[in-house]
Amino acid sequence: MAESLSAFLIAVPIAVLGGLIGLGGAEFRLPVLVGLLRRSAHQAVPINLAVSLVTLLVSLMVRLRTLPALPLESLVLILIAMIGGAMLTAFLGAGLTARLTPHALESWMRLLLTAIGLLLIVEGFFPLSEAGLVGNAAWAQALTGFAAGCLIGVVSSTLGVAGGELIIPTLIFIFGVGVKTAGSASLIISLPTVMVGLARYARKGLWFSRSEGVSIVLPMGLGSVIGSILGGVLAGVVPANTLKVILGLVLIVSALRMFHWKNSARGG
């Protein structure tokens, strides 16, 4: 009961933050799952993906209602290319995770979480460019989107995150997409990526137990629904750049403390 209550209470604010910017929130759940809830890295990844799926679905539905005027139709080619690349490597990435030692996977997690945090901080201070680095040529957009999607799929499947922390900066800096549009587009790209990752883990038997589903996934999912609704509603209110700086700092601190919590749990 105590574990389920903790999972629920922690999931709500994480989903609020994720809903505000267009993330699945998995990068914030990882330290909680590994440290506070005492799950190994391999156990944490499929749990994280399952809760991310719930968060992404609810966040997207709410944002489409609260931010209906976003020019998502102009990004169809880029979205398709990024989804294709992400799904391909997400499918392959779960098999890679199964071959990694727990120590290697945990080191990979900490490195990527720290890098993502720094990226968010830089994005918060860096003046946004409407032009982007890729021109309007369809072939250039498709190739660049596919390559970016491949990288995002690897991150998603190996860390159990939705990949929005990389999708949003890619759309902003490379394709010149506005930050709010990038947030909603990130949710669209992340959904099939997470689904492929989950399917791959299920086929390989790398799945959470029924007891973990009841005690962690279910309460975290419920908390994520509530938080995603709140975050989606507030998406047009909170200054995005300020929020990114805060999220980046929290992410870096979480990454640094992640394995301190785990080691403390082992010692206890």
> Which position has the higher pLDDT, 32 or 128?
32
- Which runs of consecutive H residues, i.e. helices, occur in the chain? 2-21, 26-31, 41-66, 76-99, 102-125, 138-159, 164-169, 179-203, 210-212, 218-234, 240-267
Q: Over range 209-236, report the average pLDDT.
A: 87
Instruction: Give the pLDDT score at 267.
Output: 43
| Residue 261: CA count within 13 A, CB half-sphere | 20
Q: Is the pLDDT of residue 257 over 70?
A: no
Q: Tell me the average pLDDT across 234-243.
A: 76
Asked if residue 266 has pLDDT above 50, the reply is no
Token representation of residue 158: 């190996």
Choose between 24 and 98: higher pLDDT.
24
Give pLDDT tens digits for 27-47: 778 778 887 788 877 788 888
Percent of the residues in the chain that have a pLDDT greater than 70, as a whole number:
80
Q: Which residue has the higher pLDDT, 251 or 227?
A: 227
Does the pLDDT value for residue 95 go beyond 80? no
Band (pLDDT 50/70/90 cuts) for residue 97 is low
* pTM: predicted TM-score of the whole model, two decimal places: 0.76
* Burial of 38 from C-beta contacts in 10 A (0-12 / 13-18 / 19+): middle
**Per-residue pLDDT reduced to its tens digit, 4-20:** 888 899 889 888 888 88
Section 247-265 average pLDDT: 61
Residues 6+ apart with CB under 8 A from 174: 132, 133, 134, 144, 148
Q: How many CA atoms lie within 13 A of 79 on its CB side?
A: 19
Q: Compute the mean pLDDT over every residue in the chain, rounded to the nearest whole number.
A: 78
Name the one residue in this structure whose structure tokens are 């830089």: 122
CB 181 within 8 A of CB 130: no
CA distance 133 to 175: 6
Query: Which residue is associated with the tokens 């629904």?
Result: 225
Higher-confidence position of 77 and 109: 77
Of the given ranges (17-21, 148-152, 157-161, 232-236), which has the lowest mean pLDDT?
157-161
- Name the percent of the chain lying above pLDDT 90: 10
Q: What is the mean pLDDT of residues 82-89?
A: 87
Q: How confident is the model over 22-26, as a mean pLDDT?
A: 77
